[in-house]
Amino acid sequence: MMVQAPAETQTTAAPPPVVRPRRLRLSPAMRAMVRETHLRAEDFIYPLFVTHGRGVRQPVSSMPGVCQLSVDQLGATAERAASLGIPAVILFGLPAAKDPIGLENFDPAGIVPQAVRAIKAAAPELVVITDVCLCEYTDHGHCGLLNAGAFHLPEGYVLNDATLDILQRTAVCHAAAGADIVAPSGMMDGMVAAIRRALDAHDFQHVSIMSYAVKYASAFYGPFRDATDGAPKFGDRKTHQMDPANAREALREAALDVAEGADFLMVKPALPYLDIIRRVRDAFPEMPLAAYNVSGEYAMIKAAAANGWLNEEQAALEALLGIKRAGADLIITYHALDAARWLG
């Protein structure tokens, strides 16, 4: 027997929809036909932490799956990344000793030059990016040289122009070891122009600069600072990294770095700053744009997955897709190897 809807419902019901977006979601093949954003292994940059010693694979407790590696361990990891179709790695060095200036940062025999050479020997096709900053190398953990009371600046203030000199030496040192791209991460004013000048003066015109152009003073760097023992011993980074409240200022920072000769821009972190990625993408359509899916973003997914609260593969791929959809061409992510494998 047919069930009659009450008369009242018949008179007020909307006509059946003519436009039905669900038609395009009917099958996997149909969904694939209309998919707007594609995640590929070529989108990823894999971060590596390099430490002194031999045979070292020291797990970072707040970043499950991430290890500090000694130079002799890098070749196998580099080959694995390359075989998965990942085009680039970014290196962070842990020095043998820390001091107020961070001398190992620009030592040709230092940890990063050794690492660059090892990776180039094992996987010559891989693009090698080096992070250029002071905080992993200085005993005070700050991203620059500190004011000792002069210049009418606060005690402990990170000196801008004196720091540029160290960044120049470091960039040239990394380039001489064979780095393809240097990535200054300290948010010093004028850092891109200074590094470009130094590279060119040493005949490294072909070495690119990926600027951490828009880097926020973020709580999401916590696990990274465990990995590099790079937390500031006092104070914070708010006099150089950006205020998370600011978006217009991001465009100003990006514009300066473009004018100074940056080859790539970066926004960091990624997930709480998808709006910033989109704005930078729209304001500088001509620039390659990277986003850094930082340590805290990785740790959140790992921790939830370890508790059985999230499916790691699905959550990580969705987060990476979101970063790409927001406008990033490249994503620096600790999930790079897994994601490349999942994407198969």
* Residue 122 or 305 having the CB closest to ligand PBG: 305
Report the first-to-last Cα separation within the chain, whole angstroms: 52
Q: What is the C-alpha R_g of the chain?
A: 23
- 44 scored as a contact of ligand PBG (CB under 6 A): no
- 299 scored as a contact of ligand PBG (CB under 6 A): no
3-state helix vs strand vs coil in the chain, percent to 5: 45, 15, 40
∠ CA 240-216-254, rounded to 5° = 80
- 336 scored as a contact of ligand PBG (CB under 6 A): no
Q: How many residues would you count in the chain?
A: 344
* Residue 237 or 324 having the CB closest to ligand PBG: 237
DSSP 219: G
- 295 scored as a contact of ligand PBG (CB under 6 A): yes
Among 39, 94, 133, 159, binds ligand PBG (CB under 6 A): 133
CA distance 175 to 164: 16
From the list 153, 217, 224, 162, the residue with the least C-alpha distance to 191 is 162
3-class DSSP state of 265: strand
| Residue 133 CB, nearest approach to ligand PBG (Å) | 3
Q: Which residues, numbered 233-262, are part of the site for ligand PBG (CB under 6 A)? A: 237
Catalytic residue among 215, 233, 238, 324: 215
120 is catalytic: no
98 is catalytic: no
- H-run or E-run covering 268: strand 264-268
Amino acid at 236: D
- 131 scored as a contact of ligand PBG (CB under 6 A): yes
What are the backbone angles phi and psi of residue 79, rounded to the nearest 5°?
-65, -40
* Residue 133 or 274 having the CB closest to ligand PBG: 133
| Residue 295 CB, nearest approach to ligand PBG (Å) | 3
Among 50, 171, 294, 340, binds ligand PBG (CB under 6 A): 294
- 221 scored as a contact of ligand PBG (CB under 6 A): yes
- 320 scored as a contact of ligand PBG (CB under 6 A): no
| Residue 333 CB, nearest approach to ligand PBG (Å) | 9
- 330 scored as a contact of ligand PBG (CB under 6 A): no
CA distance 193 to 209: 10
Q: Which stretch binds ligand PBG (CB under 6 A): 14-22, 131-139, 278-286, 314-322?
A: 131-139
Among 44, 157, 216, 224, binds ligand PBG (CB under 6 A): 224
Under 8 Å between Cβ of 141 and 183: no
- Find the helix packing angle between 111-122 and 160-177, rounded to 10°: 30
* Residue 38 or 238 having the CB closest to ligand PBG: 238
Binding mask 176-215 for ligand PBG (x = CB under 6 A): ---------x------------------------------
* Token pair belonging to 128: 């090698």
Catalytic residue among 98, 120, 268, 302: 268
Q: Which stretch binds ligand PBG (CB under 6 A): 12-20, 96-104, 130-138, 300-308?
A: 130-138
CA distance 269 to 78: 24
CA distance 45 to 40: 11
- Would you name the residues annotated as active-site residues? 215, 268
Interacting residues with ligand PBG (CB under 6 A)? 131, 133, 135-136, 185, 221, 224-225, 237, 294-295
